[in-house]
């Protein structure tokens, strides 16, 4: 049985029963996308009311207004946006409440993290999960990133399953039913190590919204504002996680850091930075296929050409920013990883990263990472077959031309012909 996945209905989706039911239900429910409605839901779910500084309301309003003004967003798409925002607002309440009761958390050091920085779809997720398999590292599983502070009314007995894990797993199972090919493109199991972008979400400032909605206005707003304070907020949430579950050294990752090297290094000045590099055409191809596939229930029309144009430009902006700010990367604590070399020799790549980070690549680490590799072989959930020409009306050569500046600097292997 072949494990190849061909998505032939990007432009005109053929919906499964779960997708049709979700669309029908979404249209039967009125969802108010307003700051007040989101905050009210967060207060009702937590029993708290102090959000801390109110500057977040402006950023949240920018996101919600753009969503409200888009008639192509479906009812279920609006519900999903409301659910995410109300969860972030509830997290903000819980974070603020915890810090008021335990201000000593702000004194906890986050020392010498290893941070993976690279384009989306360039192997960063797999790489950070390999590193996180070494139990000396502190990492952030998806379930913990979704709810970094436990609900005060939920007491977890020793050995019991955390209800936050259960909720995350339920979300993942529902996602698999509603978008069955997502597992092959971007695993979202509860224990999968996630991006710390999620920890900026309670401050309502990161680029994650762009992955779940068509939000060029938010992109422009976000890029026009200094993100240093939001990176500081993210570090505070890491301190909270460190307080709950201490470990000496963190491993982190996010593609967003490519365009935020200044805020990143201001927040973690002693970090070791691992920069991944991959053929940008392969990155764009994977990104637009995944996002267009995910749009079949969130939007009334999937608009493949919109995703093509938006993400080709967005990937270019990420790379241009990273080259502009390359001088900010710490000399002696930065390592560049080429995707094709990393795929050919994962253990060799990891050994080089450990050396750069000043950390011994012990036999135990090798064994733990090897066990993760054995349990998570590449292509385990299937391999997506891409077709830029037929699905997105563009040739690889046309997509490649704007990235000459990048190919000239980094010897990435051309993957898409």
Task: Please indicate whether residue 413 or residue 176 has the higher confidence score (pLDDT).
Answer: 413
CA atoms within 13 A on the CB side of 34: 5
Counting beta carbons within 10 angstroms of the beta carbon of residue 136, is it exposed (0 to 12), middle (13 to 18) or buried (19 or more)?
middle
Q: Give me the percent of the chain exceeding a pLDDT of 90.
A: 89
Instruction: For residue 193, give every residue at least 6 positions away whose Cβ sits within 8 Å of its Cβ, in sequence order, or none.
Output: 125, 128, 129, 132, 139, 140, 141, 142, 251, 253
What secondary structure, in 3-state letters, does 280-291 show?
HHHHHHHHHHHH
Scanning the structure block, which residue is given the tokens 């979202």? 188
Alpha carbon of 349 to those of 237, 266, 322, 338, 342: distances in Å?
A: 30, 27, 22, 9, 6
**pLDDT tens, 266-295?**
999 999 999 999 999 999 999 999 999 999
**pLDDT tens, 97-113?**
999 999 999 999 999 99
Phi and psi torsions of 122, nearest 5° = -115, 20
CA atoms within 13 A on the CB side of 171: 19
Identify the pLDDT of residue 1. 36
CA atoms within 13 A on the CB side of 289: 26
Q: What is the mean pLDDT of the chain?
A: 95
**pLDDT tens, 233-274?**
999 999 999 999 999 899 999 999 999 999 999 999 999 999
**Residue of 84, 77, 88 whose CA lies nearest to 31:** 77
**pLDDT tens, 347-394?**
999 999 999 999 999 999 999 999 999 998 877 777 889 999 999 999
Q: For residue 118, what pLDDT band results from cuts at 50, 70 and 90?
A: very high
Q: What is the dihedral of CA 63, 65, 68, 70, to 10 degrees?
A: -80
Q: Give me the percent of the chain exceeding a pLDDT of 70.
A: 100
Q: With 60 as the cut, is the pLDDT of residue 2 above it? A: no
Q: How many angstroms separate the CA atoms of 324 and 120, rounded?
A: 19
Domains and CATH numbers, the chain: 4-106+113-150+164-407 (3.40.50.300)
Mean pLDDT of 23-48: 97
Q: How many angstroms separate the CA atoms of 132 and 128, rounded?
A: 6
- Cβ atoms of 165 and 190 closer than 8 Å: yes
Q: For residue 132, what pLDDT band results from cuts at 50, 70 and 90?
A: very high
Alpha carbon of 183 to those of 70, 381, 384: distances in Å?
A: 28, 6, 11
**pLDDT tens, 40-76?**
999 999 999 999 999 999 999 999 999 999 999 999 9
**pLDDT tens, 161-192?**
999 999 999 999 988 888 888 777 887 899 99
pTM recorded for the entire structure:
0.95
């Amino acid at each position: 049985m072949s494990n190849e996945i061909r998505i032939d209905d990007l432009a005109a989706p053929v919906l499964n029963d779960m997708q049709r039911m979700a669309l029908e239900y979404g249209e039967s429910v009125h969802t108010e996308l307003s700051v007040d409605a989101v905050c009210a839901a967060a207060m009702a779910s937590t029993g708290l009311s102090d959000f801390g500084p109110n500057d977040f309301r402006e950023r949240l309003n920018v996101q919600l207004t753009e969503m409200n003004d888009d008639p192509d967003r479906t009812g279920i798409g609006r519900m999903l946006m409301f659910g995410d925002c109300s969860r972030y607002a509830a997290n903000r309440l819980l974070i603020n409440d915890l810090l008021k009761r335990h201000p000593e958390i702000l004194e906890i050091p986050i020392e010498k993290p290893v941070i993976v920085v690279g384009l989306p779809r360039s192997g960063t997720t797999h790489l950070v999960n390999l590193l996180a398999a070494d139990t000396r590292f502190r990492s952030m599983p998806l379930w913990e990133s979704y709810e970094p502070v436990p609900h005060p009314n939920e007491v977890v007995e020793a050995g019991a399953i955390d209800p936050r894990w259960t909720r995350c797993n339920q979300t993942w199972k529902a996602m698999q039913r509603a978008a069955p090919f997502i597992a092959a493109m971007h695993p979202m199991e509860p224990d999968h190590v996630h991006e710390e972008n999620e920890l900026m979400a309670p401050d309502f400032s990161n680029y994650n919204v762009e992955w779940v909605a068509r939000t060029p206005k938010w992109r422009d707003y976000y890029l026009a504002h200094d993100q240093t304070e939001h990176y500081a907020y993210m570090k505070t949430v890491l301190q909270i996680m460190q307080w709950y579950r201490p470990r000496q050294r963190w491993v982190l990752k996010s593609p967003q850091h490519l365009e935020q090297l200044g805020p990143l290094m201001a927040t973690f000045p002693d970090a070791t930075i691992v920069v991944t590099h991959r053929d940008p055409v392969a990155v764009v191809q994977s990104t637009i296929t995944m996002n267009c596939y995910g749009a079949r229930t969130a939007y009334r029309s999937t608009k493949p050409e919109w995703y093509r144009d938006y993400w080709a430009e967005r990937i270019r902006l990420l790379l241009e920013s990273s080259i502009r700010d390359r001088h900010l990367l710490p000399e002696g604590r930065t390592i560049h990883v080429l995707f094709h070399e990393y795929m050919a020799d994962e253990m060799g790549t990891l050994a080089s990263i450990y050396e750069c980070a000043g950390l011994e690549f012990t036999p135990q680490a090798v064994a733990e990472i090897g066990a993760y590799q054995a349990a998570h072989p590449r292509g385990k959930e299937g391999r997506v077959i891409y077709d830029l020409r037929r699905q997105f009306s563009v040739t690889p050569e046309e997509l490649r031309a704007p990235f000459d500046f990048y190919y000239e600097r980094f010897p990435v292997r051309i993957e898409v012909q």
